[in-house]
């Protein structure tokens, strides 16, 4: 079981080469990350294969100029790595069975439904708001069992990008009830963004 968790979303615009995103969102993410200070930092996000990952933050696939790196990181890990900046950290693609100790501060990178509004990437699905509300409730309760028992089938339908990361995070968070704070629960561009901390 890890020692603390921070939850952030993974819009590509948070990558520096794509502008770094809205200052307010970025600063909330950094605020959440601050609860991990002093721990062994691990970024947890969706990847191609479960397990430890090495690679380069590379935004060319999303239209940034420059040469494509030979080993581009998956989006969520790239965003997490970017937010941690020059702090030493490891990258973990969700879904594996790695054991993480309580010296680890886990940065969980994932998004809610991309069907929150008419202009959302996946258009409006009326079920999306309720689904994301259940994510927010799980985060606010500090309850790993709620976060780990989100409806996977409906979630896939609703283009919930954070499912894999949250499922893994629930395992690494054990059975404890955490002291939870939700800093952001919003969908300003039609995609559910959550920023939260469990300490």
Q: Looking at the chain, which runs of residues are DSSP E strands?
A: 4-8, 40-45, 51-53, 90-93, 104-109, 180-186, 193-198
Instruction: Based on the shown chain and the rule CB under 8 A, indicate whether residue 12 belongs to the binding site for other proteins.
Output: yes
Task: Compute the chain's Rg from CA coordinates.
Answer: 16
CA–CA distance, 22 with 63 (Å, rounded to integer): 18
Question: Cβ closer to other proteins: 163 or 187?
Answer: 187
CB of 190 to other proteins, least distance (A): 7
In whole angstroms, how close is the CB of 78 to other proteins at the nearest point? 13
Q: Pick from 128, 159, 134, 129: which is nearest to 148 by CA?
A: 134
Q: Which of the stretches 11-19, 37-45, 47-55, 128-136 binds other proteins when contact is defined by CB under 8 A? A: 11-19
The span of 9-17, 40-48, 151-159, 174-182 binding other proteins (CB under 8 A) equals 9-17
| Cβ pair 44, 92 in contact under 8 A | yes
Interface with other proteins in residues 47-76 (CB under 8 A) = 62, 65
CA 60, 66, 70, 76 torsion: positive or negative? negative
- State the number of binding residues for other proteins (CB under 8 A): 12
Q: For the segment 89-128, give every residue that binds other proteins (CB under 8 A).
A: 121
Give the footprint of other proteins on this chain (CB under 8 A). Answer: 11-13, 18-19, 62, 65, 121, 188-191
């Amino acid at each position: 079981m890890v020692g603390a968790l921070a939850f952030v979303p993974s819009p590509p615009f948070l990558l520096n080469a794509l502008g770094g995103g809205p200052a307010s969102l970025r600063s909330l993410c950094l605020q959440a990350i601050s609860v991990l200070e002093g721990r062994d930092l691990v970024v947890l996000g969706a990847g191609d294969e479960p397990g430890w990952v090495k690679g380069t933050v590379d935004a060319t696939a999303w239209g940034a100029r420059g040469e494509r790196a030979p080993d581009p990181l998956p989006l969520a890990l790239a965003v997490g790595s970017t937010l941690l900046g020059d702090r030493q950290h490891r990258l973990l693609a969700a879904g594996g069975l790695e054991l993480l100790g309580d010296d680890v501060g886990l940065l969980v990178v994932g998004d809610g439904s991309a069907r929150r509004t008419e202009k959302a990437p996946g258009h409006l699905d009326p079920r999306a708001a309720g689904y994301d509300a259940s994510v927010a409730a799980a985060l606010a309760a500090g309850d790993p069992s709620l976060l780990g028992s989100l409806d996977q089938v409906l979630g896939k339908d609703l283009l919930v990008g954070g499912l894999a990361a949250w499922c893994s995070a629930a395992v690494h968070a054990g059975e404890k009830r955490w002291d939870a704070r939700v800093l952001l629960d919003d969908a300003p561009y039609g995609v559910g963004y959550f920023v939260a901390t469990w300490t």
